[in-house]
Structure 1
Amino acid sequence: MIRFRHVLAIASLALLAPFGPAQAVNTATANLIALDKNTSTGWLDARVELYAPPDAKGNLGAPKVYPAQLLFARPGQFRLVLRTGAKNEYRAASNGSVVTWMDYGTGIGGQQKYADVVDPFTQAMLGVAGAITRFTAAKEIAMSANSPLRGARLATKVYGSSVVSSKAWFSNDKLIGFEFLFADNSRVFVSVLSMKQNVPTKPSDFVL
């Protein structure tokens, strides 16, 4: 079964993605801070790679790869679909107070309170706009001045979160991906394919 801390990590930084044209901001950290203030809803199409913790020799095995689509609205609403249209499609949805999920491959699903099942870091990122610096310390990753690639490293400052750190990567000021490191050394890599910012939403969007 796909773990909630993994699939919901996708939502943590998705709302910080630079939607549409390239931003007139030079650094990745500045992009993240500016967009955090101006994003209330969004839609994301992505490719997700889940890596189990490395073996005793430090080697990573082959990742589990999923196409993913995410719709979110602050505070706390989202609908995440992995393997859209496949027989083993996976869905998770939150109305801000309750999270419901279903793995159609196994027939296993459930429902729990949002505060009990969603990682505290994800709760913080899907909460109040403009508060990213309260929950994570952002630092620019050193890159060549001539390279179009820019990155930001974020150290989690949320008590009880299993997310240790994350990174966001930009090319020509457009987000191309981000990654998460968890306390057990498992990792999630997300490649951004397309996205839309501040899309219209309604309550029925956040059900399975």
Structure 2
Amino acid sequence: MSVPPRLDSLASLATVPTSAMACKLLFDRDLYAPCHIRVPDADHRLSAIYVDNQFYSFLKTVPEARKAIDVTMRLAKRDDTAAITLTRRGYVVWGHEPGARYAPPARQPGYGIRPVFGPQACLMVADESAYQTCRLQVPDVTKPLMALTHNNRYYSFFKQDTDAAKVLDIAAKLARRGDETLLVIEPSRLTLALLEPNGRLV
């Protein structure tokens, strides 16, 4: 495996929160249930989705993947969990609503909501102090891998690209098969890495 270019400085993202964001990438319609909810600070019902026993309220629809990532990361000011769905109109960003309660249709007060179990969340990071590059030895690969360390966990490089839509699509597919991923967000590129629970530093 060739050594990827050095990660860019994130100086131009100084306004982006430093928190890591756990984001559900729900690009298949069967991964969530649309619904309405009520929250303590609003007097009307909100459009929402339901997955893994959690509610996420509608925030914004954007046409581009990179814009969806930027909007998602700004949510880190108030929370560390979000969701992104994909529709014909573009990417839809949803904010986590831990205090929400389900609001059934007015004409069907007994209408329930089906349980839905989603994929692994993709951990998104846009603060260069939150991770470090390293070399990692894993059991099933002979040569050391380029990797990232974040919160005392190791992630091997999987994909590095300027195309945000492509990277998000790959991350969504990996999450659906159960992989834990880390997405490092930089001004000029995105780096997607896979958790290596049995990896050790070289």
The TM-score with structure 1 as length reference comes to 0.29
Structure of greater relative contact order (alpha carbons < 8 Å, 6+ residues apart)? 1
Highest Rg: 1 or 2? Answer: 2
